[in-house]
Amino acid sequence: MRSGPALQSPWSVYLQIAPLSLVLLFFFVFPVALVILVSFFHYQMLVGMVPRFTSKNYVDLLSNPTTWALYLSTVKFTLIVLAITFVLGFWIAYFLVFHVRNLLVAIGLFLVCTVPFWTSNIIRMISWRPVLGKEGLINSGLIKVGLISHPLNWLLFSDFSVVVAYVHLFTLFMIVPIFNSMARIDKSLLEAAIDAGATRWGVVWDIVLPLSKTGIALGALFVVTLTMGDFFVVTVISGGLSGSATSEIYNDLQFLNYPRAAANAVILLIVVLMIAAAIFRLVDVRKELVR
């Protein structure tokens, strides 16, 4: 281990890390702390927040069956989306890493997948309408071919469309970490397995899958966080028909009931953190990110 150039003063490190630390402190740590604090405040109609400690917000929320129903619905969506994005993400990453022979082509195809990520989420979301709508492409196409006689109205403004939109937006977050993990697998391991008589499926199940564990965990973490924390996709695409945990928060915010919104936000955060902790237990995330 090298001890580094003998020219750096120890103070320069702290100077270098200061901007990041300050931003994180003011725009992450403080806000989260304040949200937690405010969740214990009292809300008075027409007055706003009153800094009087109360656990009423939590009691209200947790005893309200709607809250549970909404969280259940959100978790349901999240699990479905997680399953689909995992299957898609895994096989696409697998294809890019192990089936595409030319490295440049693989990188090119990878970029093709990632470019939509850099365009507006909202636009991508509303662009489903001409495709899934009653007069949209799919319905018109199916009618023309004669498979159906009336347009399917569950394609848009439904649970189905919500799942489609989430998969559309978030599969990339699965592909990237899994791609990263897979690319690091020593290809000679696979050759050795084949030499030893493993079937191609056996190779995937016994070698590729375990070695991609970290990437899968990271991807799962992202997808879960983004799905559970989303509110605009679910409201717009479902036309207000599906609820989510976040829609409750949204409503409270409309009425300026910050304390209860904050309490709900804290509950949401706790759920997400529990899932994150479970995932962090399975893999050493820091090693994976920094390597």
Partner 1 sequence: MNRPSASPSPGSGEIRLVNLTKTFGVTTAVDKIDLTIPHGSYCCLLGPSGCGKTTILRMIAGHETPTAGEIYIGSEMVVGKSPIARGTALMFQSYALFPHLTVLDNVAFSLKARKVGKDERRRQAEEMLRRVHLHALKDRMPAQLSGGQQQRVALARSLITNPRVLLLDEPLSALDEFLRLRMRSELKSLQSELGITFVHVTHTQPEAIALADMVVVMDQGRIDQAGSANVIFNRPKTPYVARFMGGQNVLTGTVVRTADGVLRLKGANGAQFEIPTNQAAPPQGFVVSFTVRRDHINLRKNLDNRAAAPNEVRGVVEATEYQGSYIKVFIDVGGGVFVANVSDRDFSADPVERGDAVVASWSAADTNILTSVDEGGAGEPYSDAAPATTIEGLEKG
Partner 2 sequence: MAGSTTSYGPRPWTFYALATLFTLFVIFLYGPMIAVLILAFQGPSGSLDFPLRHPSLMWFAEVFHPHRVGDVVGAFERSFPLALIVAALTVLISVSAGFAFRRRFVGSTLIFYTAVASLIVPGLVLSIGILVTFRYLGLPAAWYSSALGAHLSWTLPFGLLIMFAVLGRLSPSYEEAAYDLGASKWQAVRWVVIPIVFPGMIAVALFGFTLSYDEFPRSWLTVGSKNTLPLEIWTMTTNVTSPELYALGAMTTFVSFLAIGIALSSIAIIQRTRSGRK
Name the residue among 257, 261, 256, 223 with its Cα closest to residue 245.
Answer: 261
In the numeric block, which tokens belong to residue 229? 């924390």
Q: How far is the CB of 110 from partner 1 (least distance, A)?
A: 23
Strands (E), the chain: 42-44, 48-50
Which of partner 2, partner 1, none sits in contact with 3, Cβ below 5 to 8 A by type? partner 1
Is residue 103 part of the contact set for partner 1 (CB under 8 A)? no
Number of shown-chain residues binding partner 1 (CB under 8 A): 6
Which of partner 2, partner 1, none sits in contact with 205, Cβ below 5 to 8 A by type? none
Interaction residues for partner 1, span 2-41 (CB under 8 A): 2-3, 5-7
Q: How far is the CB of 186 from partner 1 (least distance, A)?
A: 22
Which of partner 1, partner 2, none sits in contact with 30, Cβ below 5 to 8 A by type? partner 2
Measured from the CB atom, is 3 or 188 closer to partner 1? 3
Q: Are strands 48-50 and 42-44 parallel, antiparallel or unpaired?
A: antiparallel
List phi, psi (to 5°) of 239: 65, 25
Beta bridge partners of 44: 48
> How far, in whole angstroms, is CA 198 from its chain's centroid?
35
Residue 265 CA to residue 207 CA, distance in Å, equals: 40
Measured from the CB atom, is 7 or 15 closer to partner 1? 7
Which of partner 1, partner 2, none sits in contact with 94, Cβ below 5 to 8 A by type? partner 2
Instruction: Output DSSP code: residue 27.
Output: I
Q: Note the residues at the interface with partner 1 (CB under 8 A).
A: 1-3, 5-7
